[in-house]
Every structure is written in structure tokens, then in C-alpha cells.
């Protein structure tokens, strides 16, 4: 084999191995980049999966570029000829023939041994497989495992969802008007949007504010419904008592007329408190039957039925509000007890009878109603009130807290420990001699004592100076140090 | 064909001359074939040789034999501590002329010769040793402002004794650097000794049966000028010499640990010249990597300055140069690590 043939053969052997090796390595890099880009894209900006396949072109391009780069960086032919020369121990003849014309010297020179080029490809192929698996995993991993990367935020999602649920429940029960509902909805969305971790305090504050607003809405609705129901129950009992008294002849006609007028005003108050279909029906009934100012027994029967129906419809599913956390479960129990408490209705009836038979007989309807309102507070089943805010009762507020008298609390840090002072100098019982030092006799005026401050006394005009402190200073110091 | 490149016939005739020269040397001095070969390489390179060996191993005999074979003027100077530079270079003496006028006349010293044997050179004072500097490098002598060229060719073949160092003056680095080779003359084996005893009854070598004429020597020198040094080989020499410096990236561990100063550029020139001569001795018009490797140790070992730690660890300059040869690849392909160029006939790997 001639020198040129050997060099060409060695070069070819190097070429394809270098190109293959470089292509594989560059493909590995391309695959790793591709897989990473897929993951990042799927994390921050989910796109269709087939768009990711375009990255495959990147890998192919990288492999081709790597192969081209390797081919361009192959050893020069002069180097290969030198390698052949060294391999065949030709003493420089081969490599010199590449640089200069040796003519007769190269005749008969044969290249018998060509170095073997080998590529340790195990590592490269293993990495190629790993990177391919990486790309496959990046492509095939379900999107649910790849949560979109967002700015770090406060975990306010659950709270906002709960508040939205509460708002929807209020709307469903008709306890919130449309403008207020939209306003609260907008505020909730704003909280959800601005729930950044940079100002978590603001987010929590807004959530608390909305929670309080929704609870206040529920509470207002609760009170309003309770008042409406109470008015209706009162009117119903009022009508019942009046009918019974008319039947038994316990009431005089003039008294019945004034009481009827008071009943009519009470009905007007109830209608104003709760406008609606039933209120309209009651209004129409009153227009038909209440013109003469005195209800008959039959009319009172009809009125009782009418109010009974209204009360049935007045019922509200308080449990829904309790479920979404808008009202306290304790309140729920009390509300139920309020609805079905026969004792309270009985008391109300007794109060009405007393009112009609007693003071009410000589009062005009407005004064009668004022007395009736006063008797509302007395008609409770117990001294505890009905347990609702604003309804009174001694068990509400701080006053109902139990007074316990157990072990006495430690006086440490609270009060002075008595200390018996030692007998001091007679001229100043409240001071303690701290230091006596020699000074130049002066003529300054004597300084006055400044309470617990460091004071100087004596020494004026003398050859020594005494520094004194209040005797109780250690006690004062212990007192303040105990607070730390 | 390039004009300067020797023809095959020219090289063959030169090789024949060299072969006969070596044959005569081997006949006159028994058991020193490799030493003779390197001395001839040094002669063809026009380089000076420092022979180091214990007394009685044939250093002086070798140089004498060489002088006889080359038909060159030969002088021997026994270096002693009281030897003065004028004892070597020559001096001016006052001489009365035929006309009765007295004038200073230069009387050449023993350095004015072709082949100077500087026996036990390390016994002379540094002053006297330094007198050889100009002569060895520039092949001329300057005295009282007058420069006188030395005869052509001019070789210094010095010898020094590695033992009995008391009262000696180690050669300065500048002078060591001027020697092309430092050759270690070792003891001969028993068979050679037996041959010496039986054929050299008084220790005198036999007379030469053939001598190299001055014309033939000139031809050889002329041929030496035309030996081609490929670029890759010169690059290899450059990398070898660079690798003897401890701060070089290519330096092997032994160099980094034990070498304080590496070879000078003069060492690289000497190595290239010696490689050329070695190629000619081998009958080739071009220098190969093996020529460089063959002469690297004698050409570089005295140019590498070792540290005191090397002396304590008994590391020799030859070991250092040998590791440099093993460490530096002749042809760096700059291939990635996972690509191997493996020798088909050996386990040598390039990567």
C-alpha cells in the first residue's frame, strides 16, 4: 500500500468514527435541551404535544452539525502520514514524502501497518439512550403532574372558594340583593387575583373582611327574619286572643274596637316589614274587611288562617347557612327552639290578655302597641332571652362569665415584696452611702435629691465627697428586672 | 527532486564509510559498540562530547583511537587545579627577531588542534574551564584583542570522573550546555573483559587498519547538511524540549517534581543535529522519530538541572529524559479521549 493510499484509508477510518461520535454527542446535548424545553413549555405555557415534536428537528440538526464540525476538525494528512511513519518505523521517509519530493527514496517503501481507530462508544450510547428516555418522559408525563408555574402565592384559594360558596348560598336564599352580590363577587375575584406572597397580610385581611361582611349579611337576614316572624306570630296570637275574648264576651265592644285598630296597625307593621305576595294578599284582605275598624269573629278566623299560612312560608332553612359556615351552629339550635317554643307563645298570650283586660282597655291603638312592644321582652320562656344578638338576657356578654376563685395568682412581678429597711443614717433615712472619695473642697450649692436618681449630698466645703443612692433602689431594680 | 536531498548512492557510500569507521573502533576498543555509535553521531554533528566514567574504562583510549582513525591532529590536556587558561589557549612571549628587535609573539596552546582531549576536565578551576567557552561554541580564540580561528574540524572530547569529587569543580551549566552529548562510560561485562585481557596485554589498542581521510570526513559533513528534517519531527523535538521544563503543561510528573530547569534552545538544536547524524548513520536521508528518541537521552540529560530532592530520591537525569520520551507522543492527533488510535503491531495508543 502506498503512502497516499494508506493516508486515505486511515483518514476515512477516522472520518466516519469522528463524525458518528460527534453526531451522537451533539444529539445527546440536543435531546437534553429538547427535553428540558418541553418540560419548561409544559410548565409555563402548555401547548399542543405535537408542537413539541418540532424539537426533534433540533436534535437532527445538532447531530448533523456535530458531524460536520468533527469532519472539519480532523487531523491533517501530514499528521496522519507522520503517524503512519511512526507506526511503520520508516525513519521519516513517509512523512517527508508528504512534505517534499523524495523520488527514488519512496520507491519500494510500503505501508504495511495502519493504526486501528476505535471508538469507546458505550458511554455515548448509554447517554443517548438516557437522553431519549428523558425526552419521552418529558413528552408523555401527564399534564396534571406539571402544575403551571406561577408566582409564589398565598394559599388563599380554599378560603376564597368557601366565601364564594357562602355568597352563592346567600343569593340562593334571597338574603343578598343583586348589586351587593355583584360587588362582593368582584371583591372575591380581586382577592383571588392579588393573593401574592409579597403581601400576605393584605390578602388575609381582605379575606377576613369579606368573611365578616358575609356573616354580617347572614346575621342581618337572621335578625330580620326573626323580627318578621315575631311580628306575624304576635299578630296571629293577637287575633286568636281577640277572637277567644269576643267569643267568651270578656271584652267590651269599645275595647274590641280599639284592640282591633291596634291589631290592624300591627298587621300594617308586619306588611311593611315583609313586603311580598302574602303582604299584598293581607293588604287586600284588610281593605275588604278592616274598614269598619272592628273585626268579627269570622274575620278573625280568616285572619288567623292567613297569618298561619304566611308563617309557614316564612320558615327559612337555617341549616343551609350553618352548613356553609355563615351562622354559628349554636344559633341554629336557638333558632329552632324559637320557632317551636310553645311556652313563649303561651306567655305572649297571657301578656296579651292582661294587656287587653288591664291597661289596654283605655289606651288608643298606638299606645296599646307600645305596651305590646314592651311585653315582648317579658314573653320569653326564661330569663336567658332567645339567645340571639340584641335579644337581651343575662347569659349574654361578659357578665355571664363564671367567676372562679381558685389558687391565688403569683404576686411575682405584680406587687412589691415587702422589705424591711435597715436602720440608716439619721440625717437621711431614704439614702444609702455608696462611695466616699477625696475631693477638692468646693463652694457649690448643695444639690437637691432627685427622687430615685443618683444624687450627691454632702461634701460641699469638705475634704471628701460621699455618693449616696436611695435605699430602696435595689427593690426598684428588682421590680423592673422581674418584668423582663 | 529537491537539490539538497542526498541521493541513495551518496547515502550508501556514507553509510559504508561510517560502518567501516565503527568497525575499526569496535575492533580497537572492545564491547563499546553503542558508545562508539554515539561518538560517531556526535562527530558527524560537529558536537563536543563529555565522557563520564570511572578511571580505566577506556575514555582516553577511545579518544586516542578516534584521533588515529580520523587522521586528525590530536592533543591531550590533563586538567589539574593549577592549570591556567594560557596553558590551554596559548600565550604571548617576548621574542627577539633576527633584526634584534623584540616583540610579543603568540605561541598557540594545545587547543589549536582538531581533536582535543580534555582529560578530567572537572579538576581544573572554573577560570580555566571558562577559557574553553568561546572555543567550544564559536570555534575561535581571542587573546589580547586578537581573534584566531581554530582548525577545522574542532572537537573537544572531555572526560570526567564521577567519583573522587573532592577537589573538583563541577562544570558550570553554560559549559555543560556546550557539549552535544554527555555519554556515560560504564563497566564492560565479563566476556569483554576476558577479550581485553587476552588480546590487549599492555592495554594498548591495536593499530588501525583503515583510516578515514579528511576528504571523506568533509563528504560526510557535506552530506549531513542535506539530511532532511520533517516538520513533524522538528515539532516533536520542540515538544520534547519544552516538556523538560517543569512549568510546561506537557511535562511529565517526574519533570514537575524533580526538575528545576529544563533544556535550553541549544539543547533542541543539538537534538535535531544529532538526530540528523543518527539518520545518516542509519542510512536514511530523512530524520524519523526513532532517530530523535535514539539520541535524546545523551543530548538532553546534561541539560536538565535536577533539584536536591532528586538527588535524595536517586533520580537521574536520564530517567527524567526517558519519562519525557514516554510521555510526549510523536504525533499528537488531538482526538477526543474516547477515540483511540491503536497500533496494529503494538499496544501503543493515541487518544
Contacts of A75 in chain B (CB under 8 A): 333-335
pLDDT for residue A362: 60
**C-beta neighbour count of A119 within 10 angstroms:** 17
Q: What is the pLDDT along chain A (484 residues), one digit of tens a residue?
A: 777 788 888 888 888 888 888 889 899 998 898 888 888 888 777 677 677 777 788 888 888 998 888 888 888 878 888 888 888 878 888 888 777 777 777 777 777 788 888 888 888 899 999 999 998 888 888 777 776 555 556 667 788 888 888 888 888 877 788 888 888 888 888 887 777 656 677 778 888 888 888 888 887 877 777 777 777 777 777 788 777 777 777 777 777 777 777 777 777 777 777 666 777 777 777 777 765 667 777 777 787 887 777 777 766 667 777 777 877 777 777 666 666 566 766 777 777 777 777 655 565 666 666 666 655 554 444 444 454 444 555 444 455 555 666 777 676 666 666 666 665 544 455 666 667 777 776 655 555 544 444 444 444 555 666 666 666 777 777 788 876 5
Distance (Å, rounded) from C-alpha A264 to C-alpha A258?
10
Lowest mean pLDDT among B34-38, B189-193, B291-295, B301-305: B189-193
Contacts of A96 in chain B (CB under 8 A): 228, 230, 285-286
Distance (Å, rounded) from C-alpha A167 to C-alpha A237?
36
pLDDT for residue A417: 66
Min distance A159 CA to chain B CA atoms (Å): 60
Q: Which of B233, B286, B339 sits opposite A21 (nearest CB)?
A: B339
CB–CB of A123 and B338 under 8 A?
yes
H helix and E strand count, chain A = 17, 4
Lowest mean pLDDT among A138-142, A254-258, B20-24, B148-152: A254-258
Q: Cβ contacts of residue A115 below 8 Å, gap of 6+?
A: A10, A83, A84, A87, B341, B342, B343, B344, B350
Task: Name the residue of chain B whose CA is nearest to A123's CA.
Answer: B338
Distance (Å, rounded) from C-alpha A63 to C-alpha A24?
6
Domains in chain B, start-ordered, CATH in brackets?
1-82+113-226 (3.40.50.300), 228-332+343-351 (1.10.8.80)
**C-beta neighbour count of B53 within 10 angstroms:** 20
Between A204 and B147, name the one with better pLDDT: B147
From chain A, which residues contact B within 8 Å (Cβ)?
Answer: 14, 17-18, 21, 75, 78-79, 82-83, 85-87, 89-93, 95-96, 99-105, 113-121, 123-124
Cell digits for A441?
Answer: 473642697
Min distance B280 CA to chain A CA atoms (Å): 11
Q: Assign B104 to helix, strand or coil.
A: strand
pLDDT for residue B137: 85
Annotate A79-141 with DSSP letters as a single string: HHHHHHHHHHT-TTHHHHHHHS--GGGGTT------PEEEE--HHHHHHHHHHHHHHHHHHHS
Given CB atoms, is B287 within the 8 Å cutoff of chain A? yes
Using pLDDT thresholds of 50, 70 and 90, give the confidence band for residue B54: confident
pLDDT for residue A166: 85
Please give the C-alpha separations between residue B347 and each of A115, B340, B342, B344, B350, in angstroms, as whole numbers. 10, 11, 7, 8, 10
Please give the C-alpha separations between residue A458 and each of A431, A453, A455, in angstroms, as whole numbers. 12, 16, 10
Q: How far is CA A282 from the centre of its chain?
A: 47
Min distance A136 CA to chain B CA atoms (Å): 27
**Residue B340 is inside which H or E element, if any?**
strand B339-342
Min distance B4 CA to chain A CA atoms (Å): 11
CB–CB of A21 and B338 under 8 A?
yes
For chains A and B, count residue pairs whose Cβ atoms are closer than 8 Å: 118
CB–CB of A92 and B336 under 8 A?
no
Given CB atoms, is B291 within the 8 Å cutoff of chain A? yes
Buried b (16+ CB within 10 A) or exposed e, B121-151: bbbbbeebbebbebbbeeeebebeeeeeebe
A3, A74, A82: best mutation site toward chain B, by most B Cβ within 10 Å?
Answer: A82
Q: Cβ contacts of residue B120 below 8 Å, gap of 6+?
A: B78, B79, B80, B159, B160, B161
Distance (Å, rounded) from C-alpha B212 to C-alpha B22?
11
H-helix segments, A274-417: 277-289, 297-314, 318-323, 329-340, 342-357, 365-376
pLDDT for residue B287: 92
Distance (Å, rounded) from C-alpha A338 to C-alpha B124?
132
Q: In terms of residues, how long is chain B? A: 351
Look-up: residue for cell 321582652? A377
**Residue B119 is inside which H or E element, if any?**
strand B115-119
Q: Cβ contacts of residue A455 below 8 Å, gap of 6+?
A: A431, A447, A448, A449, A468, A469, A470
Q: How far is CA A352 from the centre of its chain?
A: 51
Contacts of B338 in chain A (CB under 8 A): 21, 119-121, 123-124
pLDDT for residue B37: 92
DSSP class of A390: T
CB–CB of A91 and B339 under 8 A?
no
Look-up: residue for cell 291603638? A365
Given CB atoms, is B9 within the 8 Å cutoff of chain A? no
B271: pLDDT strictly greater than 90: yes
Given CB atoms, is B12 within the 8 Å cutoff of chain A? no
Q: Taking residues B115-133, what's their average pLDDT? A: 86
Given CB atoms, is B8 within the 8 Å cutoff of chain A? yes
Q: Cβ contacts of residue A425 below 8 Å, gap of 6+?
A: A431, A433
A77-88 vs B289-300: helix axis angle to the nearest 10? 80
CB–CB of B335 and A104 under 8 A?
no
Q: Assign B5 to helix, strand or coil.
A: coil
pLDDT for residue B237: 94
CB–CB of B341 and A116 under 8 A?
yes
Instruction: Assess contact for A225 and A310: CB atoms under 8 A.
Output: no
pLDDT for residue A429: 52
Taking only the tens place, the pLDDT of each residue in B96-107 is 888 888 888 888
Which of the listed ranges B118-127, B229-238, B342-351 does the model predict with the highest average pLDDT?
B229-238
Query: In terms of DSSP bridges, do strands B179-184 and B48-52 run parallel, antiparallel, or are they unpaired?
Result: parallel
**Residue B261 is inside which H or E element, if any?**
strand B259-261
pLDDT for residue A147: 62
Cell digits for A108?
Answer: 519500494
Amino acid at each position: 500500500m502506498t503512502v497516499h493510499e494508506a493516508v486515505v484509508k486511515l483518514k476515512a477510518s477516522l472520518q466516519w468514527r469522528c463524525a458518528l461520535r460527534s453526531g451522537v454527542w451533539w444529539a445527546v446535548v440536543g435531546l437534553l435541551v429538547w427535553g428540558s424545553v418541553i418540560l419548561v413549555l409544559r410548565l409555563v405555557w402548555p401547548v399542543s404535544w405535537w408542537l413539541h415534536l418540532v424539537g426533534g428537528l433540533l436534535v437532527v440538526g445538532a447531530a448533523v452539525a456535530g458531524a460536520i464540525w468533527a469532519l472539519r476538525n480532523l487531523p491533517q494528512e501530514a499528521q496522519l502520514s507522520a503517524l503512519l511513519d511512526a507506526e511503520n518505523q520508516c525513519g521519516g521517509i513517509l512523512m517527508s514524502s508528504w512534505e517534499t519530493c523524495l523520488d527514488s527514496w519512496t520507491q519500494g517503501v510500503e505501508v504495511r501497518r495502519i493504526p486501528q481507530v476505535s471508538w469507546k462508544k458505550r458511554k455515548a450510547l448509554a447517554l443517548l439512550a438516557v437522553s431519549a428516555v428523558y425526552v419521552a418522559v418529558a413528552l408523555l408525563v401527564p399534564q396534571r403532574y406539571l402544575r403551571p408555574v406561577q408566582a409564589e402565592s398565598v394559599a388563599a384559594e380554599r378560603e376564597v372558594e368557601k366565601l364564594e360558596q357562602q355568597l352563592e348560598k346567600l343569593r340562593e336564599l334571597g338574603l343578598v340583593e343583586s348589586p351587593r352580590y355583584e360587588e362582593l363577587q368582584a371583591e372575591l375575584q380581586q382577592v383571588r387575583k392579588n393573593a401574592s406572597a409579597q403581601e400576605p397580610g393584605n390578602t388575609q385581611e381582605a379575606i377576613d373582611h369579606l368573611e365578616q361582611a358575609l356573616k354580617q349579611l347572614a346575621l342581618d337576614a337572621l335578625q330580620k327574619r326573626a323580627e318578621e316572624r315575631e311580628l306575624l306570630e304576635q299578630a296571629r296570637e293577637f287575633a286568636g286572643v281577640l277572637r277567644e275574648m269576643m267569643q267568651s264576651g270578656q271584652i267590651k265592644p269599645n275595647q274590641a274596637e280599639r284592640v282591633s285598630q291596634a291589631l290592624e296597625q300591627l298587621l300594617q307593621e308586619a306588611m311593611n316589614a315583609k313586603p311580598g305576595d302574602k303582604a299584598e294578599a293581607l293588604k287586600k284582605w284588610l281593605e275588604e274587611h278592616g274598614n269598619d275598624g272592628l273585626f268579627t269573629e269570622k274575620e278573625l278566623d280568616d285572619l288567623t288562617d292567613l297569618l298561619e299560612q304566611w308563617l309557614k312560608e316564612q320558615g327559612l332553612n337555617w341549616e343551609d347557612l350553618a352548613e356553609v359556615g355563615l351562622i354559628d351552629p349554636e344559633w341554629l339550635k336557638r333558632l329552632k327552639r324559637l320557632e317551636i317554643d310553645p311556652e313563649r307563645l303561651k306567655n305572649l298570650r297571657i301578656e296579651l290578655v292582661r294587656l287587653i283586660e288591664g291597661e289596654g282597655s283605655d289606651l288608643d291603638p298606638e299606645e296599646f302597641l307600645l305596651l305590646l312592644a314592651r311585653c315582648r321582652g317579658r314573653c320569653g320562656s326564661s330569663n336567658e332571652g332567645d339567645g340571639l344578638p340584641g335579644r337581651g338576657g343575662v347569659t349574654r356578654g361578659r357578665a355571664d362569665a363564671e367567676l372562679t376563685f381558685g389558687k391565688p395568682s403569683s404576686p411575682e412581678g405584680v406587687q412589691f415584696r415587702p422589705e424591711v429597711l435597715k436602720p440608716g443614717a439619721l440625717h437621711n433615712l431614704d439614702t444609702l452611702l455608696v462611695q466616699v472619695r477625696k475631693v477638692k473642697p468646693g463652694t457649690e450649692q448643695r444639690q437637691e435629691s432627685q427622687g430615685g436618681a443618683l444624687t450627691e449630698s454632702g461634701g460641699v466645703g469638705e475634704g471628701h465627697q460621699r455618693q449616696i443612692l436611695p435605699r430602696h433602689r435595689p427593690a426598684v431594680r428588682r421590680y423592673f428586672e422581674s418584668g423582663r | 527532486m529537491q537539490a539538497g536531498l542526498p541521493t541513495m548512492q551518496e547515502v550508501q557510500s556514507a553509510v559504508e564509510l561510517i560502518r567501516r569507521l565503527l568497525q575499526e573502533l569496535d575492533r580497537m576498543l572492545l564491547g563499546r559498540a553503542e558508545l562508539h555509535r554515539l561518538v560517531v553521531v556526535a562527530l558527524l554533528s560537529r558536537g563536543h562530547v563529555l565522557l563520564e566514567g570511572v578511571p580505566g574504562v577506556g575514555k582516553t583510549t577511545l579518544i586516542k583511537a578516534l584521533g588515529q582513525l580520523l587522521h586528525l591532529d590530536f592533543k591531550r590536556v590533563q586538567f589539574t587545579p593549577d592549570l591556567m587558561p594560557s596553558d590551554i589557549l596559548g600565550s604571548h612571549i617576548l621574542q627577539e627577531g633576527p633584526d634584534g628587535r623584540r616583540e610579543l609573539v603568540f605561541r598557540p596552546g594545545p587547543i589549536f588542534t582538531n581533536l582535543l582531549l580534555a582529560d578530567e576536565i572537572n579538576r581544573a578551576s572554573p577560570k580555566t574551564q571558562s577559557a574553553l567557552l568561546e572555543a567550544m561554541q564559536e570555534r575561535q580564540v581571542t587573546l589580547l584583542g586578537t581573534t584566531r580561528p581554530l582548525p577545522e574540524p574542532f572537537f573537544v572530547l572531555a572526560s570526567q570522573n564521577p567519583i573522587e569529587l573532592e577537589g573538583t569543580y563541577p562544570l558550570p551549566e553554560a559549559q555543560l550546555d556546550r557539549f552535544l552529548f554527555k555519554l556515560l562510560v560504564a563497566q564492560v561485562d565479563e566476556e569483554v573483559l576476558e577479550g581485553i585481557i587476552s588480546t590487549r596485554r599492555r592495554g594498548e589498542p591495536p593499530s588501525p587498519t583503515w583510516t578515514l581521510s579528511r576528504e571523506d570526513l568533509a563528504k560526510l559533513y557535506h552530506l549531513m547538511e542535506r539530511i532532511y528534517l520533517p516538520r513533524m519531527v522538528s515539532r516533536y523535538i520542540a515538544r520534547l524540549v519544552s516538556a523538560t521544563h517543569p512549568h510546561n503543561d506537557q511535562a511529565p510528573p517526574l519533570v514537575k517534581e524533580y526538575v528545576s530547569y529544563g533544556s535550553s534552545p541549544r539543547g533542541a538544536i543539538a537534538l535535531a543535529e544529532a538526530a540528523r547524524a543518527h539518520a545518516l548513520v542509519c542510512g536514511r536521508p530523512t530524520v524519523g522519530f526513532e532517530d530523535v528518541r535514539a539520541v535524546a537521552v545523551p543530548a538532553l540529560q546534561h541539560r536538565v538541572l535536577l533539584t536536591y530532592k532528586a538527588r535524595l530520591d536517586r533520580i537521574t537525569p536520564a530517567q527524567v529524559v526517558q519519562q519525557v520520551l514516554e510521555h510526549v507522543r510523536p504525533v499528537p492527533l488531538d482526538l477526543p479521549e474516547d477515540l483511540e488510535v491503536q497500533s496494529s503491531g503494538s499496544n501503543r495508543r493515541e487518544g
